[in-house]
């Protein structure tokens, strides 16, 4: 693969084969290119027939696309995974403690560890949640923590996704596809299973029933509907958990409970895994124009009549300006140093930081504070002079809306191309399930891969693809 300036997870910084990849590489060496090409075509056909698509929102109508799937797995050793798991668990504990604090006593603000305006003037902060205790004390039932790697032992958290993290269906379907196409690989390489994720999710949700629940809790998944970009995932997870998939129009308040329409009339729901953002959840309490939510659901929630996962107001922990304070947040609530590193971050709301960012735009990655999916960002080293100057004006007009970070040397993993194997940059989104007594990190996650040579943008909305992620078993 030639000389590399980036750390390659199969080859390291040289041409050898790193330990986690050795067993797989010896099997890969026995496969000819024609067979791999056939398998790649089969995988695409499988994804197309299964309907595994997502919507890309552009200027015109939403366009439905397949996410490119690469059939070379990304492999992580058991020891590496233990390191990541410990760091993720520490981070999630701190996030839950932080969310409870800012909606109750706000000790971290009183201590001056983070500026008050970062909370009170934040559009993701929900004053309506002040004093509300979510069932089981859990705010973040499901979290997707985005990680990047820059060296053998260098991992960074890129962002926290606690609002409505998506992508778990692709993680599961990627594994299913690999098991169908290469069953022999799994008998030779010990890989941790992820197939019980739906059962784990159902268990984690059921562990935080609302006070009004008596007996076994009834669970449902709330979707905005078929036009949402992640609708496939909503339907997939409801089906895999064996619960109902509902839209706002299927629900209403009956006798102080949220109930869903069934063939036998309206039945109460105890736990709602909602994939609808806060603003659209309840037109009586939030956006009055929303047709996606349920009038009055927030009042029922506050009264203990239903569990909402994730809790309303959780999205503030996804804020990219707040992200820069995560080392302080972890230390404040756990008394420990962070086990996983944060990426150095300049808050453009601060004059000195803004000056530095404006002077170094060509070398930095600039992101919207509430942005997601790769939209609204500038990757300086890959941008044209015109794009940089356009972004300079945006920054000058609304500096508080942006943060900037250095361009990291993201690790690469080989993908299969028409001309053979070639390195491409990757990130990783492990999925975490939180209940009152446990934090479970699913052994794998969604590896997103930039399909274009040299590109650092892995988001599917920007042309990125996915890979199966193998966490090796011990021994």
Segments in 19-111 forming alpha helices (H): 22-28, 33-50, 78-102, 107-110
How far is the C-alpha of 371 from the C-alpha of 378, rounded, in Å? 12
What is the model's pLDDT at position 426? 96
Structure confidence at residue 50 (pLDDT): 77
Query: Please, what's the b/e burial string for 357-374 (b: 16 or more CB within 10 A of its CB; e: otherwise)?
Result: bbeebeebbbbbbbbbeb
Residue 40 phi, psi dihedral angles, 5° rounding: -65, -40
Residues of the chain above pLDDT 70, percent: 94
Within 115-167, residue ranges assigned H as helices are: 117-120
Nearest to residue 469, comparing CAs of 152, 184, 192, 86? 192
For the cut 90, the answer to whether the pLDDT of residue 449 exceeds it is yes
* Model pLDDT for residues 39-79, shown as the tens digit of each residue: 988 888 888 887 776 555 444 444 566 788 999 999 999 99
pTM of the model: 0.92
pLDDT digits (tens, 9 = 90+) for 86-133: 999 999 999 999 999 999 999 999 999 999 999 998 889 999 999 999
**Going from the N-terminus, what domains does the chain have, and what CATH number goes with each?**
345-407 (3.30.1490.270)
Q: How many helices (H) and strands (E) does the chain have?
A: 14, 23
Phi, psi dihedral angles at 138 (to 5 degrees)? -100, 125
* Mean of per-residue pLDDT scores for the chain: 91
Q: What is the pLDDT of residue 311?
A: 98
Query: b/e string for 212-232 if b means 16 or more Cβ within 10 A?
Result: bbeeebbbbbbbbeeebbbbb
Confidence of residue 142 (pLDDT cuts 50, 70, 90): very high
Q: What is the pLDDT of residues 308-350, one digit of tens each?
A: 999 999 999 998 889 999 999 999 999 999 999 999 999 998 9
Q: Is the pLDDT of residue 299 over 70?
A: yes
pLDDT at 372 over 70: no
**Over the stretch 202-216, which tens digit does the pLDDT of each residue have?**
999 999 999 999 999
pLDDT in tens, 223-253: 999 988 889 899 999 999 999 999 999 999 9
β-pair type (341-342, 154-161): parallel
């Amino acid at each position: 693969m030639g000389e590399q300036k980036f750390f390659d997870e199969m080859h390291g910084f040289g041409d050898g084969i790193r330990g986690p990849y050795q067993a797989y590489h010896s099997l890969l060496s026995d496969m000819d290119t024609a067979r791999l090409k056939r398998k790649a075509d089969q995988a695409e056909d499988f994804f197309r027939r299964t309907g595994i698509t997502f919507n890309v929102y552009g200027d015109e109508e939403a366009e439905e696309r397949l996410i490119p799937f690469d059939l070379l797995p990304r492999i992580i050793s058991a020891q590496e995974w233990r390191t990541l798991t410990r760091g993720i668990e520490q981070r999630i504990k701190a996030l839950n403690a932080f969310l409870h604090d800012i909606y109750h006593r706000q000790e971290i603000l009183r201590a001056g560890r983070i500026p008050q305006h970062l909370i009170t003037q934040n559009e993701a902060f929900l004053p309506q949640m002040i004093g509300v205790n979510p069932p089981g004390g859990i705010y973040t039932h499901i979290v997707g923590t985005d990680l990047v790697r820059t060296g053998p032992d260098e991992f960074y958290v890129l962002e926290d996704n606690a609002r409505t993290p998506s992508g778990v269906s692709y993680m599961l379907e990627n594994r299913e596809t690999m098991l169908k196409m290469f069953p022999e690989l799994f008998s030779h390489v010990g890989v941790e299973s992820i197939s019980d994720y739906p059962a784990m999710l159902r268990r984690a949700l059921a562990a935080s029933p609302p006070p009004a629940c008596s007996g076994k809790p009834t669970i449902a998944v709330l979707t905005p509907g078929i036009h949402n970009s992640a609708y496939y995932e909503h339907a997939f997870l409801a089906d895999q958990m064996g619960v109902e998939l509902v839209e706002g129009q299927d629900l209403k308040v009956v006798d102080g409970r949220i109930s869903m329409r069934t063939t036998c009339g309206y039945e109460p729901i105890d736990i709602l895994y909602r994939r609808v953002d806060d603003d659209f959840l309840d037109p009586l309490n939030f956006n009055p124009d929303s047709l996606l939510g349920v009038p009055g659901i927030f009042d029922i929630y506050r009264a203990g009549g239903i569990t909402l996962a994730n809790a309303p107001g959780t999205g503030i922990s996804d804020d990219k300006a707040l992200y820069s304070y995560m080392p302080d947040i972890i230390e404040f609530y756990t008394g420990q140093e962070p086990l996983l590193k944060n990426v150095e971050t300049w808050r453009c709301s601060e004059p000195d930081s803004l000056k530095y960012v404006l002077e170094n735009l060509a070398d930095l990655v600039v992101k919207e504070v509430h942005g997601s999916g790769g939209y609204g960002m500038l990757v300086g080293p890959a941008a044209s002079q015109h794009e940089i100057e356009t972004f300079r004006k945006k920054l000058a007009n609304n500096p508080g809306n942006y943060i900037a970070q250095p361009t990291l040397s993201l690790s690469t993993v080989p993908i299969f191309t028409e001309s053979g194997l070639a390195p491409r940059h990757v990130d990783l989104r492990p999925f975490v399930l939180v209940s009152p007594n446990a934090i479970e990190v699913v052994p794998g996650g969604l590896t997103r891969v930039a399909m274009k040579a040299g590109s650092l943008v892995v988001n599917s909305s920007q042309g990125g693809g996915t890979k199966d992620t193998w966490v090796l078993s011990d021994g």
